Structure 1
Amino acid sequence: MKKASIFMIVGSLLLLGLFKFPLWNIMLGAPQYPEPLGMNIFIDGIEGQNEFDIQNIDGLNHYIGMKTLPKPEDMWEFSVFPMVIGGMALLGVLLGFLGYFKKIGYQWFLLWFFLMAVLGTLGMYDFNAWMIDYGTNLDPNAIMKLQNPDGTPMSYKPPLLGHKKLLNFDAYSYPRLGGYFMFVGMLFTLLAYMIGRNKIKLNRL
């Protein structure tokens, strides 16, 4: 159980990487931009990949009626997400220590994993909903009003994951280092459960 508990503690602590590194990244590339425009999405705000990327993206968005990129005070998520991540990391470390001293069973590690998976899924759903609103709720007085072939207004929603063509821009959306820290951390906690379960099975033989 001690080995399983150490995996649980380390996995939970890896979540803290989200306070330092970006969770997600969206890149916009086009012929007129030899250096693609990018934004890194952290759990507490959005930053340009390069110094003027946010200004340039907002400038492009102005022409098609998209809202400016939100500042931390504009979205409740940027206040809540750090508390959720910090709370889950603390809870995971606590469960790991309790498991180390045999105060709880390995099943608690799986419970933590499922709770984190649910919260992560809700976070991705919220992120996608924000992008839908960002890319479809356009200013009717925008300078450029483009339509699909069927006459409906064109959507500029970036992809949740992968590549999408937006006019002459190629949009790419992928996890960044903080996201990988979270993924590996969750994998460690799942391994903690499996190690603890196998240990109990071996002791029963």
Structure 2
Amino acid sequence: MKKASILMMIGSVLVLGLFQFPMWNIMLGAPQYPEPLGMNIHIDGIRGMSEFDIQNIDGLNHYIGMKTLPKPEEMWEFTVFPIVVGAMAGLGILIGLLGYLGKLSYGWFLGWLVLMSILGALGMYDFNLWMTDYGTDLDPNAIMKLQNPDGTPMNYKPPLIGHKKLLNFDAYSYPRLGGYLLFLGMALTGVAFLVGKKAKN
């Protein structure tokens, strides 16, 4: 059980990597940009990969009527996410410590993993809703009004994950180091549950 508890604590500590590293990245590449434009999505805000990336992305988006990228104070998520992540990491460490001391069973490890999975799924759902609004709620007075072949307004929503062609831009959306640390931490807590279960059998 002690080995399982140590894995539980390590997994929970890895989640704290979200405070240091971005969890997601969206990259925009086009022939007129030798260096792609990119934005890293952290739990407390959006930052450009290079100094002027956010400014340049907002400038391009202005022509097609997209909103400017939100500042941390403009989205409640950037206030709530750090609290949730910190609380879940702290709870996971506490559960692991109590398991190490023999105060809790390995079943608590699975409970933490299930709760973290639900919160993560809700976070991804919310992120996708934001991108849908960002890419479809366009200013009707925009300089450029582009339409699909069927006459409907063009959708500029970036992909949740993977690649999508947006006009002459190639948009790529993938996890970054913070996201991978989160996934690894959750996987370790799953292993901790299995190790703890095996130790009791």
- Measured against the shorter chain, the TM-score band is over 0.9
Q: Provide the C-alpha distance between the structure 2 equivalents of 1:125 and 1:183, rounded to a whole number of angstroms.
A: 16
Q: Provide the C-alpha distance between the structure 2 equivalents of 1:73 and 1:27, rounded to a whole number of angstroms.
A: 23
The yes-or-no answer on 1:46 pairing with 2:43 is no
* 3-state SS of paired residue (2:105): coil
Equivalent runs, 1:123-138 vs 2, <5 Å = 123-138=123-138
Q: Provide the C-alpha distance between the structure 1 equivalents of 2:48 and 2:98, rounded to a whole number of angstroms.
A: 41
The yes-or-no answer on 1:13 pairing with 2:10 is no
Q: Provide the C-alpha distance between the structure 1 equivalents of 2:195 and 2:175, rounded to a whole number of angstroms.
A: 28
Structure 1 stretches of 4+ with a deviation exceeding 3 A read none
Query: 1:8 offset after TM fit, Å?
Result: 0.3
Q: Residue 101 of structure 2 aligns to which amino acid in structure 1?
A: F
Q: Provide the C-alpha distance between the structure 1 equivalents of 2:161 and 2:88, rounded to a whole number of angstroms.
A: 25
Q: Which residue of 1 aligns with 2:119?
A: 119
**Residue-pair matches, total:** 201
Q: Provide the C-alpha distance between the structure 2 equivalents of 1:98 and 1:152, rounded to a whole number of angstroms.
A: 58
Gaps of 5+ in 1: none
Instruction: State the percentage of identical aligned residues.
Output: 75
Q: Which residue of 2 aligns with 1:176?
A: 176
Q: Residue 126 of structure 2 aligns to which amino acid in structure 1?
A: D
Query: 1:20 offset after TM fit, Å?
Result: 0.4
Equivalent runs, 1:1-205 vs 2, <5 Å = 1-201=1-201
Q: Residue 88 of structure 2 aligns to which amino acid in structure 1?
A: M
After superposition, the C-alpha distances for 1:21-50 in whole angstroms (9 at most, x for unaligned) are 000000000000010000000000000000
After superposition, the C-alpha distances for 1:29-74 in whole angstroms (9 at most, x for unaligned) are 0000010000000000000000100000000000000000000000
Query: 1:81 offset after TM fit, Å?
Result: 0.1
Query: 1:90 offset after TM fit, Å?
Result: 0.4
After superposition, the C-alpha distances for 1:92-116 in whole angstroms (9 at most, x for unaligned) are 0000011001111000000000000
Q: Residue 20 of structure 2 aligns to which amino acid in structure 1?
A: K
Q: Provide the C-alpha distance between the structure 1 equivalents of 2:101 and 2:53, rounded to a whole number of angstroms.
A: 50
Query: 1:183 offset after TM fit, Å?
Result: 0.5
Q: Residue 80 of structure 2 aligns to which amino acid in structure 1?
A: V
RMSD between aligned residues: 0.3
TM-score by length of 2: 1.00
Query: 1:165 offset after TM fit, Å?
Result: 0.1
Q: Provide the C-alpha distance between the structure 2 equivalents of 1:7 and 1:115, rounded to a whole number of angstroms.
A: 18
Q: Provide the C-alpha distance between the structure 2 equivalents of 1:150 and 1:106, rounded to a whole number of angstroms.
A: 56
Query: 1:182 offset after TM fit, Å?
Result: 0.2
Query: 1:168 offset after TM fit, Å?
Result: 0.3
